[in-house]
Structure 1
Amino acid sequence: MPDYALYLLNEDGTNSFLLKESLKDDQKEIEIPIPSKEFTREYIQKGGVFYHFNEWNSHFIRYQLDDNKHMVAVDSIQFKDGYLENYLWKGDTDTLLLFIVEKKTTARARMYMVDTKEFKLIRDEALPFPASVADFNLLSIGLVDFVDDKLWMAYCYSKVLTIDDYTTSDTMYYATLDFSSFDIVNLQKDTRSSYPGGINTVQSYSFRDDQGDFYFMSCPGVALGNNLSKPTAIFRKKAGSQQVDTSYMLDVSERILNHAYGFWYVGGQKAIIRSEQRDLYTDFSNHHSVFQFEYYLVDLATKKLEKINIPLDKGTRKENVLVQDGYVYFGIDSDGKKHEVWRYTPANGKTDKVFSASKSVNYILRLDFLK
């Protein structure tokens, strides 16, 4: 099994994995085509095993790479009709928690608990949240955390404005559930921003730092919450607490005058964010295709931001940041049909290009470590 996988969207509309022993130009690589309706970039990967919720038939499927380097479905579990919004590994175990919002109502949600070793469903629970708040009737499960047999969840409500526009309410909700009974034991409301987190099979929005504090980012920008009056911001839930720390908020939009999407931990109280540039795109229709995205190193303690010297990127939401061994690797799609992996050293700010993919690629959508 190679160590790394780049998930690619190619110019002809096909998807493929590019498997590499290391993220360098001179290393052997294998490309694996992916059938478009069977597997998407919205997957969960652990130890080289891939899990995917197929929204066409509501099956949760386990995939592996066979000896011929093909992606093969080896098992599946039937779920109810829905959209997978978030997942969480329950501690250091093979137990996977999946949070799915029903398709028909887009307002009711369920948790499925799967034993991935035996690959069987071991629990199915309805989440005890209201179907709507006022006329905001679209529920989003943006963040999940598990501490001391308590399930903590951040969610919000949106509504459709026109056939091609929607917005999110001004309130974020943080609920703590007793994991045994699924009763809500604490509910906290926060109006400092909107749209906490997002679909984490597409992009990361939270992490736990070296001290065990849980940090997360809100995403009210045009690509997610579409409540532009609210700032993109970083929040904290301290170790051992089920309450968000109301004394801490890092207002990202105030510092860079833009919204951001994506949040990855580097270590040592430092994180990476990926920000749009409002003056470079017209509206959501060309948001994904404009070379506009910048990356910043964020100091969570001092609240300072430092722009990273790499080319402007395209693609609205990507899981293209990998932190490993003191380096940060970025899958960048830049002007001139360049699709490259860049390496950044937070200790000294140095950046260098380590790999170039074929020009027939359109996007590097994901960058995964497979071990």
Structure 2
Amino acid sequence: MKLFRPSLYFGLLSVLGLLFSCVSPDSSKEILPEYALYLLNEDGSNTFFLKESLQDTGKSLEIDVPSKEFTREYIQKKGIFYHFKERNDYFIRYQLDANNQMVATDSILFKDGYLENYLWKNDTDTLLLFTVEKKTTAHARMYVVDTKNFTLLREEPLPFPSSIVDFNLLSIGVVDFVDDKLWIAYCYSKFLTADDYTTSDTMYYATLDFSSLEVLNLQKDTRSSYPGGINTVQSYSARNEQGDFYFMSCPGVALGNNLTKPTAIFRKKKGMHEVDTSYMLDISSIIHNHAYGFWYIGDQKAIIRSEQRNLYTDFSNHHLTFQFEYYLVDLSTKKLEKINIPLDKGTRKENVLVQGNDVYFAIDSEGNKHEIWRYAIDNGQVERISSVSNSASYILRLGFLK
């Protein structure tokens, strides 16, 4: 839900405009970037750090982001970037041109809203987008976009209640699509004071017919709270090789703020439209902390990113504290193993990239170090492989462009 986004701790980010600018157009032609790191810098500006390789070998190019069109909350697929500009409700398509400048190539006007979640339908060019209205954050809508022709195919409200008792703030947390059925995990929150909120003790899982949006089944789950989160900021779900769907709840201070509930991983088995109530991986009971972010790496293994409650004071310094640890999670045995890389800062980041037998982490560690670390899945070996601009404060995102 937009009102609770921990991205607010960054302030109003300086964001990407219709054109990137670079120092030398000629030199920009010489690099064929395969990776893009999105940075928030010490002076409040944003830049893209384009790299041919995640190692220090190969060329790189840092591109200024001078205007206010593009935030860190974007969708990227095969080198094309999509962004919902909430200031005027346009959904915009961008891509890098031959000079490694980014240009806006088309746009679609949406209704007033905050983008909560997205899903590529069956891994095609069809993109499903889910918003909640800005005024009350109590009503949700679905948009269906053909990204190949960049046309709006469909737009309609989702049939969810605007509130449950006095919890009147709706959050769309996780979305899945199987056999022409739409599955959505959502929850409700409320303000306690002008500066504080909490989330109810119930997660809701709705199965909808995709054609009619009729609710075919509604499941309630009180084992945790706040399923998933805004996945344009951070990943919270994935499907394994057998077709089982896993997702994580995030009731910690940075999202659900219902600290009595555990961060946990849940499972929806292949062919099922209800969550398997016999499965729950209680992360908080193992590491005695909450976590945010879930990245599946294959063979029933995943990465999570956890806070350390003893290192931060409250939400005001949550993002500033070098506290975040990364764990390898075995979804079958329910065992966790800490990965030996430096403590990270920044409450929520999309900074984990899986490629083949390696996992890459973009880490902001003490000593103003902004580095890429590689973790070998086969043997657990870790190594620092490259560094990023010293002017950065946070590496907000790490992505593969191809």
| 2:368 pairs with 1:343 | no
Which of 331, 342, 347 in structure 2 is aligned with 1:300? Answer: 331
2:296 aligns to what?
Answer: 265
Q: List alignment gaps of at least 5 residues for structure 2.
A: 1-31
2:239 aligns to what?
Answer: 208
| 2:78 pairs with 1:47 | yes
**How far does residue 67 in structure 1 lie from its aligned partner after superposition?**
2.0
**How far does residue 93 in structure 1 lie from its aligned partner after superposition?**
1.2
Which residue identity lines up with residue 102 of structure 2 in the other structure? M
SS in 1 for 2:313: coil
Q: 1:366 to 1:156 in 2, by over 3 A?
A: same
1:176 aligns to what?
Answer: 207
Q: Name the count of aligned residue pairs.
A: 371
Which residue identity lines up with residue 219 of structure 1 in the other structure? C
Matches within 5 A, 1:96-115: 96-115=127-146
**How far does residue 113 in structure 1 lie from its aligned partner after superposition?**
0.2
Matches within 5 A, 1:7-156: 7-156=38-187
Which residue identity lines up with residue 230 of structure 2 in the other structure? I
1:163 aligns to what?
Answer: 194
SS in 2 for 1:91: helix
**How far does residue 325 in structure 1 lie from its aligned partner after superposition?**
1.3
**How far does residue 359 in structure 1 lie from its aligned partner after superposition?**
1.4
Q: List alignment gaps of at least 5 residues for structure 1.
A: none
* Partner deviation per Cα, 1:233-268 (whole Å, 9 max, x = no partner): 000000011000000000000000000000000100
2:14 aligns to what?
Answer: none
Higher strand share: 1
SS in 1 for 2:285: helix
Between 248-257 and 10-19, the greater mean CA deviation after superposition: 10-19
Which of 263, 272, 275 in structure 2 is aligned with 1:241? Answer: 272
| 2:36 pairs with 1:5 | yes
* Partner deviation per Cα, 1:138-173 (whole Å, 9 max, x = no partner): 000000000000000000000011111100000000
Whether the 8 Å contact between 1:156 and 1:171 is mirrored in structure 2 is: yes
**How far does residue 36 in structure 1 lie from its aligned partner after superposition?**
4.6
Runs of 4+ more than 2 Å apart: none
**RMSD over equivalenced CA pairs, Å:** 0.7
Q: For 2:272 and 2:367, how far apart are their aligned partners in 1?
A: 48
Identity between Structure 1 and Structure 2 (%): 78
* Partner deviation per Cα, 1:317-350 (whole Å, 9 max, x = no partner): 0000000010000000000000000000122111
| 2:347 pairs with 1:316 | yes
Whether the 8 Å contact between 1:14 and 1:36 is mirrored in structure 2 is: no
* Partner deviation per Cα, 1:16-64 (whole Å, 9 max, x = no partner): 1111111011220011222452011100000000000001100000001
**How far does residue 70 in structure 1 lie from its aligned partner after superposition?**
1.5
Q: For 1:312 and 1:261, how far apart are their aligned partners in 2?
A: 15
Which residue identity lines up with residue 142 of structure 1 in the other structure? G
* Partner deviation per Cα, 1:155-198 (whole Å, 9 max, x = no partner): 00000111111000000000000011110000000000000000
Q: For 2:67 and 2:348, how far apart are their aligned partners in 1?
A: 19
Which residue identity lines up with residue 190 of structure 2 in the other structure? K
Q: For 1:240 and 1:18, how far apart are their aligned partners in 2?
A: 41
Q: For 2:123 and 2:55, how far apart are their aligned partners in 1?
A: 31
TM-score by length of 1: 0.99
TM-score by length of 2: 0.92
Whether the 8 Å contact between 1:15 and 1:36 is mirrored in structure 2 is: no
Q: For 1:97 and 1:35, how far apart are their aligned partners in 2?
A: 30
Q: For 1:249 and 1:51, how far apart are their aligned partners in 2?
A: 34
2:17 aligns to what?
Answer: none
Q: For 1:159 and 1:53, how far apart are their aligned partners in 2?
A: 25
Q: For 1:35 and 1:110, how far apart are their aligned partners in 2?
A: 32
Which of 226, 229, 236 in structure 2 is aligned with 1:198? Answer: 229
Q: For 2:356 and 2:64, how far apart are their aligned partners in 1?
A: 30
